[in-house]
Amino acid sequence: MRNHEVSQGHNRVRLELGALSVAGLAVLAGWLGFPVAGWAEDATSAAAAVSYRDIPQLGGSRNIIWVIAQLHLLLAGFVLGVPIFAWLCEIVGWKTGEKRYDKLAKEFTKLLTSSYATTALFGGILLFLLIGFYPKLMTYLTDIFFPSFVAYCALFLLETATLYLYWYGWDAMLEGRAKVLHLFLGFLLNVFAFFIMVIPNSWATFQASPVVIAEGSSLARAWAATWNPTWWPVNIHRLIANVVLGGYICGAYAGVRYLSAKTAEEREHYDWMGYVGNFIGVFGLLPLPFAGYWLMREIYQYNQQMGITLMGGFLSWLFILQAMLIGVLFLGSNYYFWLGITHRIPGAETKYKKPIMAMLVILLLCLGVWMTPHSLVASLEEARKLGGTHHPLLGVFGVMSAKMTVANLMILVTFMSFIMYWRAGKDETATWAKLARAVMSGVLGVAAIVVIVLGVWGYFVPAIVRINYFSVAQVLIVLFVMLTITPLTALLLKSARTTTEMVWGRMPPRAGYALVLNAVMVILLMTLMGYARSSSRVHWHIYGVMRDSSQYAYSPALGYAAAFMSLNTFIFCMLVAFIFWVATMGDKAKAGGHGYPAMAGGSQELDRNQ
């Protein structure tokens, strides 16, 4: 009963604050909408002939769309990533019986209600702006995709109803078969969320890789346009990226709370939470480059010109920045694992110092190769001025064969960091432990050698052979390593004896900053690749079909774009911080100014009621 009252109080506070935040954002929408209304008056005379509208006083239509669309996409990624994260945690809690996982899942689900509304609000603003700024394009897309608009609305209704049941039914479905039903609701929530993601993906990917739309029923035309060559690669890439985003944002939240923790209990809790967030982030990060590679391959197959624009044209330097951000993300994630080994496991520092140093050196070397540009220029005139486009020594690292190799090696090293962390402080007592360790070492060593050999061999075969066979083989080898060593380690540790208990809450402050850095890197990467995807269409709204004839038909240079990426990242971080603050405000009040809030299962109130 008391728990129910507490829950009601929280809900009231949240609803009031949610209403305030919605009202605030509505004012923002009105502020943006006001000039549009004024402009629309001018446009009425032109009626349906209007192709573009603009608000130059607010920075121009393209920039406004850039900010709103990016924020909507990041929030959508968050809203779709958190249910996956929460559901995974709930399953772990259910299977292991550890209540803290269930609490963590519940409290992250709580965020969904407020962030869901904010995401929808930004989606609404984006839609109004698109209709206002690009009427001709939107008419064209509506004509093709109208049936999917209807499906999208229906899915939103289902998603909302499921979210209500999932969140409000949490406490009523804690045990037994009711819990299984709750888990099923979580599954449904993610299924609906997945389809809510893939439908807009079809609109965006159609713009990049349109297909010929034959005559037929509106449903058949919409389906034909939806099933375009880059639709599924983008779906899979975004699905995995959302898991990564959800995990690292959880980690960043834990990092901030850890830094400001006042008691040992708080430090222990947020240290553990940071570990879970980082783990899920890395779990998603490892297969993400494979999905990215598949997407890039499909782009090349769809249109060589678009692929060249991305990888060898004016966007080629973007991929150096991408390598830098991914490199920092890999380093940050590994660094957090290494800090965990040396600070949470007493006595482990000396034992793991050498392997950690070796892994650091490998990661830095790989990053150096990955960041080596292929060519420094894009035009013949510039090449003539420089007397060539390749560095005589380092140029050899600038090609895809080298980059694929080091990307796979970095994934292997990160995976081994995790395995090392998993096994630290435990004595493997199984009779076959020695054999298992030898097998694992052998698999890892052979895989690394084969990946390098294929990488070197890739220089001497036609590109088509390298792309179709060697690169795919490298990816499969790394996946094989993960799928072999993970279950083997799990079996090995099942009977292992813990020699040193893990001590939570002893991480240095830089661990908290590392978690924040990882989240910022993921968000920046999403903004960077959003710019790449949009710019790869060059001066086309719909590639090869509808040309952009507005004054904004050009793609800005990287420096200008990076300023927008940074701005969008900062605004998004502040929005997420605001959502977290709103969601935990009521809990802090209930905690009476001491202890830590219910966020992520830290509620003393909830603990007492378990």
- Which of 117, 308, 443, 452 touches other proteins (CB under 8 A)? 308
Nearer to other proteins, 383 or 443 (CB): 383
**From the CB of 581, what's the least distance to other proteins, in Å?**
9
Dihedral sign computed on CA atoms, order 138, 141, 143, 147: negative
Q: Among residues 33 and 395, whose Cβ is nearest to other proteins?
A: 395
Q: Kindly tell me which of 358 and 394 has the beta carbon lying closer to other proteins.
A: 394
**What is residue 556's DSSP assignment?**
P
Between 127 and 463, CB nearer to other proteins: 463
Interface characters, 526-565, with other proteins (x: CB under 8 A):
---------x--xxx--xxx--x----xxxxxxxxxxx-x
Backbone angles phi, psi at 546, to 5 degrees: -125, 115
Q: Which of 96, 379, 495, 498 binds other proteins (CB under 8 A)?
A: 379
Indicate whether 241 belongs to the interface with other proteins (CB under 8 A): no
Q: Is 80 in the site for other proteins (CB under 8 A)?
A: no
Give min distance, CB of 516 to other proteins, in A: 6
CB of 10 to other proteins, least distance (A): 22
Residue 313 in contact with other proteins, rule: CB under 8 A: yes
Residues across the chain: 610
Q: Residue 18: which of 114, 132, 151 has the closest Cα?
A: 114
Query: Taking Cα atoms as reference points, which of 405, 490, 511 lies closest to residue 456?
Result: 405
The nearer residue to other proteins, 125 or 520, going by C-beta atoms, is 520
Tokens at residue 603, please? 């509620």
- Map 105-145 to HEC letters: HHHHHHHHHHHHHHHHHHHHHHHHHHHHHCHHHHHHHHHHH
- Position among 126, 225, 524, 582 found at the interface with other proteins (CB under 8 A): 524
Nearest to 418 by CA among 549, 224, 283, 559: 283
- The token pair that represents 521 in the structure block: 């890197």
Which of 11, 63, 160, 305 forms a contact with other proteins (CB under 8 A)?
A: 305
Size of the site for other proteins (CB under 8 A): 63
Residue type, 223: W
The residue among 312 and 445 lying less far from other proteins, judged by its C-beta, is 312
Partner residues linked to 497 by β-bridges: 427
Give the one residue of 47, 214, 380, 393 binding other proteins; rule: CB under 8 A: 380
Question: 344 to each of 133, 504, 604, how far by Cα in Å?
Answer: 54, 6, 24
Binding to other proteins (CB under 8 A) within 256-285 occurs at: 256, 259-260
Footprint of other proteins on 564-593 (CB under 8 A) = 565-566, 569-570, 573, 577
* Rounded distance between C-alpha atoms, residue 133 and residue 36, angstroms: 9
Q: Rule CB under 8 A: say whether 314 interacts with other proteins.
A: yes
Nearest in space to 122 (alpha carbons), one of 238, 250, 28, 241: 28
What span, in angstroms and rounded, lies between the C-alpha atoms of 532 and 512? Answer: 31
Q: Which of residues 323-362 bind other proteins (CB under 8 A)?
A: 324-325
155/268 Cα distance (integer angstroms): 40
Binders of other proteins in range 91-110 (CB under 8 A): none
At its nearest, how many Å lie between other proteins and the CB of residue 527?
Answer: 10
Range 464-503, binding other proteins (CB under 8 A): 464-465
Cβ neighbours for 111, distance < 8 A, ≥ 6 positions apart: 82, 579, 580, 583
> In terms of CB distance, is 389 or 604 closer to other proteins?
389
* Of 162 and 550, CB closest to other proteins: 550
In angstroms, what is the minimal distance from the CB of 71 to other proteins?
15
CA-nearest of 445, 429, 431 to 485 is 445
Binding range to other proteins, per CB under 8 A, among 43-51, 115-123, 130-138, 316-324: 316-324
List the interface residues with other proteins, window 443-462 (CB under 8 A): 462
> Which position among 131, 320, 479, 482 is part of the footprint of other proteins (CB under 8 A)?
320
Q: How far is CA 204 from CA 235, 245, 413, in A?
A: 11, 20, 35
Residue 550 Cβ vs other proteins, minimum distance, rounded to whole Å:
10
Rounded to whole angstroms, how far apart are CA atoms 506 and 487?
Answer: 29
| Residue 207 token pair | 């713009």
Q: Is 409 in the site for other proteins (CB under 8 A)?
A: no
Q: Which of 304, 441, 499, 609 binds other proteins (CB under 8 A)?
A: 304
Asked if 583 and 110 count as a contact pair (C-beta separation under 8 A), the reply is yes
Both tokens assigned to 566: 């940074």
254 binds other proteins, rule: CB under 8 A: no
Near other proteins by CB under 8 A: residue from 140, 149, 187, 513? 513
Taking CB under 8 A as the binding criterion, the range among 25-33, 201-209, 224-232, 311-319 that sits at the site for other proteins is 311-319
Nearer to other proteins, 4 or 384 (CB): 384
Interface residue with other proteins among 11, 63, 160, 389 (CB under 8 A) is 389
CB-wise, 143 or 382, nearer to other proteins? Answer: 382
Q: Is residue 390 part of the contact set for other proteins (CB under 8 A)?
A: yes
Q: Determine which residue in the list 84, 208, 517, 600 makes contact with other proteins, applying CB under 8 A.
A: 517
**DSSP conformational letter for 339:** H
- Yes or no: say if 211 and 488 are a contact pair by the CB < 8 Å rule: no
Q: Identify the residue whose tokens are 């001497």.
A: 460
Q: What is the Cα Rg of the chain in Å?
A: 25
| Candidate list 32, 211, 376, 436; residue touching other proteins; CB under 8 A | 376
Closest contact distance (angstroms) between CB of 12 and other proteins is 26
Find how far residue 222's CA is from the centre of its chain: 28
Quote the DSSP letter at residue 469. I
Q: What does the DSSP assignment read for 204-270?
A: HHHHHS-----SS-HHHHHHHHHS-TTHHHHHHHHHHHHHHHHHHHHHHHHHHHHHT--SHHHHHHH
Residues that bind other proteins (CB under 8 A): 255-256, 259-260, 303-306, 308-309, 312-315, 317, 320-321, 324-325, 375-380, 383, 388-390, 395, 462, 464-465, 513, 516-517, 520, 524, 535, 538-540, 543-545, 548, 553-563, 565-566, 569-570, 573, 577
